[in-house]
Amino acid sequence: MRVMAQIAMVMNLDKCIGCHTCSVTCKQVWTNRQGTEYVWFNNVETLPGQGYPRRWEDQERWKGGWERTRSGRLRLRAGGRAKRLSTIFANPDMPTLDDYYEPWTYDYKNLTDAPAGDDLPVARPYSQTSGEPMDTVAWGPNWDDNLGGAPENAPKDPLVQKVGDRIRFEFEQSFMFYLPRVCEHCLNPACVSACPSGAMYKRAEDGIVLVDQDRCRGWRMCVSSCPYKKVYFNHATGKAEKCTFCFPRLELGMPTVCAETCVGRMRYLGVMLYDADRVAEAAAVEDEHDLYPAQLEAFLDPRDPAVAAAARASGITGEWLDAARRSPVFDLIRTYQVALPLHPEYRTLPMVWYVPPLSPVVDAVAATGHDGEDAGNLFGAIDTLRIPVEYLAELLTAGDTYAVEAVLRRMAAMRVHMRARNLGEEPDPGIAAAVRLTGDELEEMFRLLAVAKYEDRYVIPSAARADAEALLGEDAACPVGEKPGKPTLLNLSPTRRRPA
């Protein structure tokens, strides 16, 4: 057993309101500069929809992630080293700017400087990359927002095409939910393995995947190999860039910018311990439906004395062990098992997990005149969601509907249990038992998902605080800043690498 630690995130999709605050604040901090006009490290997609870049989930087209060979080994979908080298100057699987969107702004100056006349002045759009006027604005990073463009765009969602005709896009039948996305900081990252120059690496101390800007040569194999399309090319610097998980903030014990500014309070950050010797085995299981449980088995319980001893022997400090024991992420993923990985079939073992949405099923039951919080009604209605369970399963469990139904039943049981508690009634213990939890566990799950305080949602060890403050000096209160003469934050830790 080789114990390693990873900072992980869980997002509760039941609470996301699609306000894009996380996207805007992330962009203002990390990609508000030349060369990154089209780049969104964090974006929020409306599902069903094509997403950003368009149809990023279509790996038959993009060849991202890993695939299992007949011999049981893993190889990149993009092909072996020889194939990737043969396409290094002309990669057919590379997204173009049109697949993302051509960033634009408006000629606001014309509104104020246009001479007086009979016609009202207009602010024409022009490209932020070429500077040329644009005839039309045809696509954007949130073009599908609130089902904008449906039913024309939503049926092009690759998951909709897998599920088939069970999803309706007539207005009175449609349903949507929001999916915030960042880099998954995977345990088995395809981008790291695909990088020819070795610039992509996974930090040994916290598992964050970064790009060494000094070593990057702009081959962009990382862009095409990432199945989540969360690595971008900066056309001004000729380097690859990606979400850094706001590691300068994490080193100070602070949450990421997207989590800090989340209006819905639906993001959680914490430490997960895992057995590094089981990563390859978990990623290479034969049946895609077994990928989620295999990754669960790779996680270790920090409360287990044997795990704690092995962690100390691996160099994990007491502060990190304590954070792992109090981790809200561990509780949501392992203890209550209500968080699921995004597209485990890509075999990267992602470390940003999601609690699937349940709210619409309550509304749907109530609209029929029945009690929307009754356990029997809720359990029976899960199969009749407008967005079918099959769609959620294609998104979160490689198509395994049983795992998604188990999570939704636990969420429904929590609501029924807490309703009885709030009305002063004695909750039925059979409801908790039906989802293999106790009443106390349902109440603890409710506190974590519904009313958790700041310090309960973000449990981040700050072991690097002294080093970070020494680097940042008087700027420590604003860890994303940079002063002349000081090292670029993107390269604070270029030598602390984890083997791919």
Q: What is the total count of domains within the chain?
A: 2
- As a whole number, mean pLDDT of residues 190-203 equals 95
Task: Verify that 217 and 163 share a domain, yes or no.
Answer: yes
Is residue 188 predicted with pLDDT exceeding 90?
Answer: yes
Q: Could you tell me if 206 and 77 lie in one domain?
A: yes
Residue 225 lies in a domain: yes
Does one domain contain both 325 and 401?
A: yes
pLDDT score, position 238: 95
**CATH classification at residue 74:** 3.30.70.20
The pLDDT of residue 153: 83
- For residue 76, give the nearest of 59, 88, 89 by alpha carbon: 59
Q: Are residues 394 and 331 in the same domain?
A: yes
**pLDDT tens-digit readout, 79-131:** 888 888 888 888 889 999 999 999 999 999 988 898 888 888 999 999 999 99
Q: Do residues 283 and 246 share a domain? A: no
- 270 part of a folded domain: no
Distance CA 358, CA 269 (A): 22
Is residue 284 domain-resident?
Answer: yes
Same structural domain for residues 296 and 185? no
Are 236 and 305 part of one and the same domain?
Answer: no
Whole-structure pTM value: 0.88
pLDDT tens-digit map of 143-178: 889 888 777 888 899 999 988 766 767 655 677 899
Q: Are residues 220 and 315 in the same domain?
A: no
- The answer to whether residues 244 and 284 belong to one domain is no
Token pair in block for residue 428: 């039925």
Tell me whether residue 483 is in a domain. Answer: no
Residues 92 and 210 in one domain: yes
Is there a domain that residue 364 lies in? yes
Residue 188: count of CB within 10 angstroms of its CB: 22
CATH code for position 307: 3.30.70
Parent domain of 147: 17-101+139-250
Domain end, chosen from 211, 230, 250, is at: 250
pLDDT mean over 338-345: 98
Does some domain include residue 471?
no
pLDDT band for 480, please (50, 70, 90 cuts): very low
The verdict on residue 495 lying in a domain is no
Statement: residue 362 has pLDDT above 90: no
Residue 299 lies in a domain: yes
Residue 213 sits at φ, ψ, to 5 deg, of: -65, -25
How far lies 337's CA from each of 23, 360, 418, in Å? 27, 21, 18
- 329 and 417 inside one domain: yes
CB 479 within 8 A of CB 29: no
- Asked if residue 231 and residue 341 are part of one domain, the reply reads no
In 241-286, which residue ranges form alpha helices assigned H by DSSP?
A: 247-250, 257-260, 279-283
